[in-house]
Amino acid sequence: MGKINQPSSQIRLTNVSIVRMKKAKKRFEIACYQNKVQDWRSGVEKDLDEVLQIPQVFVNVSKGFVAPNDMLRESFGTTDLDKIILEILNKGELHLSGKERSQQIAKLHNEVLTIISTKCINPKSKKRYPPTMIDKALKELKFNMTNARNAKTKALEAIRILVDKQIMPIARAQMKVRINVPSKLYILEEKELRANMFSTIESIKKIESETEIVCLIEPENYKQLGAKMNELKGTVEVLDMAVIDDEATL
């Protein structure tokens, strides 16, 4: 990233996302492209030039006031813009525009509905509900979709309410699988498998040198379980793609 020795003057920027940080009781800001800060922090975007509108530190982006070098040195102990910008970008507070906030809410809303659709079924038909039907049910329940840190947490909260209120027949769906794994290796990994991958164990049988387990798992754990069985020289067979965990047997 190139450095710009910008005098303390005004630079006008539009359609900007502002990241703000207080340092030594002074406020500093950087100007970023809309929707790019979250991509940078999540690791999706790795090119800093795609994030920053201009490689400069401001005291006020909206007014275009650039932070003078003496203020940067006093607050950050350096005038190295690269280091200062990265610190603000990684640790500062993101201020969203009205348009960005609306886009973020809409994206979260759709992610929540998709997660619920994949995790739940009609217990009678064992079919999944489309997101539109789930959205209608949540609106009837006056469920607040906006106050969430992430989509998964909000979706789990919504599922609990939907299952409890039953304004439509709905239950949390899981996969039923049969696992065959060498008994010696299963003994070593049993604690981890029970804690991180199995939801409910329905049966365990020891057949010669192998252990057979029939259990329910969360669908999102299937890929990880398959990789683990490859590592343990075991196998995974799907018995049912959508079942309801009524009660644990073991």
CATH number at residue 110: 1.10.10.900
Residue type, 134: I
Domain-embedded: residue 136? yes
CATH of the domain at 199: 3.30.70.240
CB environment 100-126: b (16+ within 10 A), e (fewer): beeeeeeebbebbbebbbebbbbbeee
Q: Which of 7-16, 20-29, 81-90, 218-227 has the lowest mean pLDDT?
A: 7-16
Q: Do 105 and 154 have their domain in common? A: yes
| Number of domains composing the chain | 3
CB 44 within 8 A of CB 120: no
56-69 pLDDT per residue, tens: 999 998 888 999 99
Structural domain includes residue 188 = yes
pLDDT tens sequence across 65-118:
999 999 999 999 999 999 999 999 999 998 876 776 787 788 889 999 999 998
Q: Supply the pTM of this predicted model.
A: 0.55
Whether residue 4 is contained in a domain is answered as no
H helix runs in 58-130, sequence order: 69-76, 81-91, 98-119
Percentage helix, strand, coil, to 5, in the chain?
Answer: 40, 25, 30
Q: Which domain holds residue 233?
A: 173-244
